[in-house]
Amino acid sequence: ADPDLLQDFCVGDVNASITINGFPCKPASEVTPDDFFFDGLSREGNTSNQFGTGVTLGNVLSFPGLNTLGISMNRVDFAPGGLNPPHSHPRATESGIIIEGRLLVGFVTTGNVFYSKVLTAGQMFVVPKGLVHFQKNVGEGKALIFTAFNSQLPGAVILSTTLFGATPAIPNDVLTKAFQVEEDVINEMKAKFGP
Ligand code: GLV
Ligand code: MN
């Protein structure tokens, strides 16, 4: 989905003072082998949070060697019962593979059709670009997946935090009307997902 390459690589200078679409290239003389290797996905993510899930990002911000290459990966660790909550990626299609455990994996189309399946180790899934999706650990123990994207920075719109945790907050009358509930329900959600 990202633009095509104009050179072999362009290791991102993610702290550069100029801003462009992507990141400017680090000078070739400063590029080292370490720019093309990343061990950030080798460690288990922290699942001690309200969702019981730890997402570790291997995108251009954590792994600048990906700059202009049009791909990235995540590692997602799940405690028993853990949920990677409904979200979408505005800039990428996602594929994933289950390494350990048993997960309910699904997405919803723009026509509100829900496609889902329970997957185990070695099985893959795909999420078309921009569609809302989730994974839930439905096994007895921990679960682990790796996901891959056709963007160096797919972005993630997490529905709960986008709607109820925005800064500044979305006005309550918008949310009560949108969800057809009383204000106390909205305030409860804002308390759970607020900044
Ligand atoms: C899983 O959905 C992920 O975005 O890594
Ligand atoms: Mn995703």
Q: For 51-72, how does the pLDDT look when each residue is reduced to its tens digit (9 = 90+)?
A: 999 999 999 999 999 999 999 9
Q: How confident is the model at residue 101 (pLDDT cuts 50, 70, 90)?
A: very high
Q: How confident is the model at residue 195 (pLDDT cuts 50, 70, 90)?
A: confident
Q: How many CB atoms lie within 10 A of CB 44?
A: 11
User: What ipTM score was computed for the predicted complex, to two decimals?
Assistant: 0.99
What is the predicted pLDDT for the residue at 180?
98
pLDDT, the chain, mean: 97
Centre of ligand 2 to C-alpha 124, Å, is 13
What is the domain partition of the chain in residue ranges?
A: 1-155, 156-195
Could you list the beta-strand ranges (E) of the chain: 53-58, 72-78, 83-88, 94-100, 102-108, 114-120, 124-127, 132-137, 143-149, 157-158
Structural tokens at position 54: 């730890």
72 ligand 1 Cβ < 6 A: no
Q: Is the pLDDT at 139 greater than 90, yes or no?
A: yes
CA-closest residue to ligand 1 atom 2: 134
Element (H, E) at 5: none
Cis before residue 80, ω within 30 degrees of 0?
no
Nearest Cα neighbor of 94 from 61, 137, 58, 62 is 58
Fold assignment, 1-155: Jelly Rolls (2.60.120)
Q: How confident is the model at residue 121 (pLDDT cuts 50, 70, 90)?
A: very high
Centre of ligand 1 to C-alpha 74, Å, is 7
Centre of ligand 1 to C-alpha 29, Å, is 35
The mean pLDDT of 163-181, rounded to a whole number, is 98
Q: For 142-171, how does the pLDDT look when each residue is reduced to its tens digit (9 = 90+)?
A: 999 999 999 999 999 999 999 999 999 999
